[in-house]
Amino acid sequence: MKKIVLLILLAGLLVGCNKKEEIKNVESNNTPKDTVSTKDYAEGSGERTKNEFMDKVSDVQLDIEDIPESLEYSGKIVASAKWEDKNGVNLIIITETKEKTKKLSEAEIEKGNYIGDELSSKELFGYHYILKGNSSEALWKIQDFMKNCDADLTLEYIKKSLSITDLNNNGIAESTFLYRLGCMSDVSPLGYKLIMHEGKDKYAIRGTQKVIYEGVEPYGGETNIDKSFDNAPEGFLEYAKKEWKKFQRQL
């Protein structure tokens, strides 16, 4: 009788061991075979594979001084950025021309009903080049201007607003910057623009800055989102709105 009991106990132990082995095998089979060691990932790249990481934008530099002499542009450089992506070595420069003034005659003042006796003009440009050794290729160019302003002229890049991102992780960088413009004789909200590019694709937000004074109800702050954002990749508009809000207060 004792022998029978011992045989039953031994059989139970063998069955239990086999079940544990089966469970281990099931867990092992559920582990993806294409799992890559974390050593194969670049630091901070999350779940991206090697190829995806290599496609990312790299070597981003802002406010660079080493601008190729062969590049053609108008005005003085007020902001710049350089980086590498799928398109190659990229360079963006933002420039402003000097404000030009024209003295009005008395007859012109009377005829035109101008506020002052001078008219001012100024231009702002943005250029994106792909650098190829000693040569370059223009990817896009933008131009804006204020002409014949008879009051206080403003047309200026907003400092520190130029940014380089890869929001959709496709290896082609987006550039974003903002500037303000207006011809004012009082403290009215200035015109305000955000320009965003991914490659040759352009996106924009236009409106006015927000005037905020202590004890006075804030005014201005109009925001008009261009239809180009309707077909923009996910995350572009969200980022643009964030940058728009960051610099919208008129100082």
Over residues 174-202, the pLDDT tens digits come to 999 999 999 998 889 999 999 999 999 99
Q: Are 192 and 207 in contact (CB under 8 A)?
A: yes
| Average pLDDT for the chain | 82
Pairing of strands 191-198, 174-184: antiparallel
Rounded average pLDDT over 84-112: 92
pTM of the model: 0.76
Q: Are 209 and 192 in contact (CB under 8 A)?
A: yes
